[in-house]
Structure 1
Amino acid sequence: MKLNKITKAAICMSLLAAVGCTGDFEEINTNPNGITPELFEQDFNHIKGGFAPMFNNIYVYTPEWVYQLQQNLNSDIWSGYMATPTGFAGGINNTTYALVDGWNGFIWDYAYSNVMFNAYDIAQKSKGKYDQFYALSLILKVEGMHRLTDTFGPIIYSKFGSTESTIEYDSQEEVYNQMFSELDFAVTELTKRVDAGEATSFESTDLSNYKGDYKAWVKFANSLRLRLAMRIVKINPALAKTQAEKAVAQKFGVFTTNADLFKIVSPVYNNPISTISGAWLDIRMSADMESIMGGYQDPRIETYFDPSTQFPGQYKGVRTGIDIAAKSDHQDFSGIGAVVKTKEVVLMTTAEVYFLRAEGALRGWNVGSDAKALYEAGITASFEQRGAAGAAAYIADNTKTPKAYVDPNFPVNNSPAVNNVTIAWDAAASNEVKLQKIITQKWIANFPEGQEAWSDYRRTGYPKLFPVLKNYSGGTITTELGVRRINYVQSEKAGNSGGVATGVAKLGGLDNGGTRVWWDKAAPNF
Structure 2
Amino acid sequence: MKNTSNILLSGIVVFSMIFSSCSEGLDDIDGNPRNITQEQLEVDFQNVGSLYKPMFENIYQYTPPWSFQLQQNLNADVFSGYMTNPRPFVAGANNTTYNLVSGWNNFIWSVPYSNVMNNAKTIENETKDEFPELFAVSQILKVTAMHRVSDVFGPIVYTKFGESATTSEYDSQEEAYSAFFNDLDEAVQILSDNIDSPRFTAFDLSYGGNYENWIKYANSLRLRLAIRISKADPIKAKTEAEKSLSHPNGVIETNTESFFVNGTLDHPVKTINNSWGDIRMNASMESILVGYEDPRINSYFDPSEVSEGEFKGVRNGLPLLSGYDDELAQKADYVTFSLLADDVLTPRVQLMTAAEVFFLKAEAALRGWSGAGTAQANYEQGIITSFQQYSLGGSNNYITNATLTPNDYVDPVNAANSITALSNITIAWDEAASNEEKLERIITQKWIAMFPEGQEAWSEYRRTGYPKIFPVVSNQSGGVIDTDLQIRRIPFVDSELQTNPDGVADAVTKLGGPDNAGTRLWWDVPGGNF
Measured against the shorter chain, the TM-score band is over 0.9
Alignment map for 1:424-503 (pairs within 5 Å):
424-503=428-507
Alignment map for 1:507-522 (pairs within 5 Å):
507-522=511-526
Partner of 1:289: 285
Partner of 1:201: 199
Instruction: After TM superposition, give the deviation of residue 9 of structure 1 in Å.
Output: 9.0
Q: Kindly tell me: are residues 525 and 242 of structure 1, through their superposed partners in 2, closer, same or farther at Cα, counting changes over 3 Å?
A: same
Partner of 1:339: 343
Residues 474-518 of structure 1, C-alpha deviations (whole Å, 9 max, x = no match): 111110111111001111111111111111110011111011111
Alignment map for 1:315-464 (pairs within 5 Å):
315-325=311-321, 326-464=330-468
SS at match of 2:260: strand
CA distance in 1, matches of 2:149, 2:119: 16
- Whether contact under 8 Å (1:13, 1:113) holds in the other structure is no
- Whether contact under 8 Å (2:172, 2:510) holds in the other structure is yes
- Whether contact under 8 Å (1:10, 1:117) holds in the other structure is no
Q: How high is the sequence identity, in percent, across the aligned residues? A: 53
Partner of 1:230: 227
Alignment map for 1:31-70 (pairs within 5 Å):
32-70=33-71
Partner of 2:304: 308
Which has the larger displacement, 36-45 or 405-414?
Answer: 36-45
CA distance in 2, matches of 1:36, 1:509: 52
SS at match of 1:41: helix
CA distance in 1, matches of 2:506, 2:127: 31
- Whether contact under 8 Å (1:264, 1:346) holds in the other structure is yes
Let me know the Cα RMSD of the aligned residues. Answer: 1.5
Q: Kindly tell me: are residues 121 and 53 of structure 1, through their superposed partners in 2, closer, same or farther at Cα, counting changes over 3 Å?
A: same
Partner of 2:8: none
Residues 383-424 of structure 1, C-alpha deviations (whole Å, 9 max, x = no match): 000111100000000000000000011000001111220000
Amino acid at match of 1:231: R
Instruction: After TM superposition, give the deviation of residue 312 of structure 1 in Å.
Output: 2.2
- Whether contact under 8 Å (2:24, 2:50) holds in the other structure is no
CA distance in 1, matches of 2:111, 2:452: 20
- Whether contact under 8 Å (2:282, 2:315) holds in the other structure is yes
Partner of 1:211: 208
Instruction: After TM superposition, give the deviation of residue 338 of structure 1 in Å.
Output: 2.3
Alignment map for 1:149-168 (pairs within 5 Å):
149-163=150-164, 165-168=166-169
Residue in structure 1 matching 2:272, options 254, 272, 276: 276
Amino acid at match of 2:75: N
CA distance in 2, matches of 1:351, 1:17: 36
- Whether contact under 8 Å (1:421, 1:437) holds in the other structure is yes
Partner of 2:245: 248
SS at match of 2:257: coil
Residues 424-445 of structure 1, C-alpha deviations (whole Å, 9 max, x = no match): 0001111111000000000000
SS at match of 1:146: helix
- Whether contact under 8 Å (2:281, 2:337) holds in the other structure is yes
Which has the larger displacement, 170-179 or 333-342?
Answer: 333-342
Amino acid at match of 2:434: S
Residues 316-369 of structure 1, C-alpha deviations (whole Å, 9 max, x = no match): 000001234411121011000023331111100101000000001011111331
Instruction: After TM superposition, give the deviation of residue 283 of structure 1 in Å.
Output: 0.4
Amino acid at match of 1:516: R
SS at match of 1:137: helix
List runs of 5+ in structure 1 lacking aligned partners. Answer: 1-6, 21-30
Partner of 1:16: 23
SS at match of 2:61: coil
Residues 13-70 of structure 1, C-alpha deviations (whole Å, 9 max, x = no match): 53234579xxxxxxxxxx8553221222221111211101100111211100000000
List runs of 5+ in structure 2 lacking aligned partners. Answer: 1-13, 322-329
Partner of 2:9: none
- Whether contact under 8 Å (1:232, 1:519) holds in the other structure is yes
- Whether contact under 8 Å (1:171, 1:507) holds in the other structure is yes
Amino acid at match of 1:202: F
Instruction: After TM superposition, give the deviation of residue 303 of structure 1 in Å.
Output: 0.3
Partner of 2:3: none
- Whether contact under 8 Å (1:303, 1:339) holds in the other structure is yes
CA distance in 1, matches of 2:155, 2:230: 18
- TM-score, with normalisation over the residues of structure 1? 0.94
SS at match of 1:406: coil
CA distance in 1, matches of 2:138, 2:50: 12
Amino acid at match of 2:200: F
CA distance in 2, matches of 1:193, 1:39: 23
Amino acid at match of 1:123: E
Amino acid at match of 2:202: S
- TM-score, with normalisation over the residues of structure 2? 0.93
Amino acid at match of 2:258: L
CA distance in 2, matches of 1:458, 1:101: 21
Q: Kindly tell me: are residues 418 and 123 of structure 1, through their superposed partners in 2, closer, same or farther at Cα, counting changes over 3 Å?
A: same
Amino acid at match of 1:106: F
CA distance in 2, matches of 1:341, 1:452: 17
CA distance in 1, matches of 2:67, 2:423: 32
Whether 1:298 and 2:302 are equivalent positions in the alignment is: no
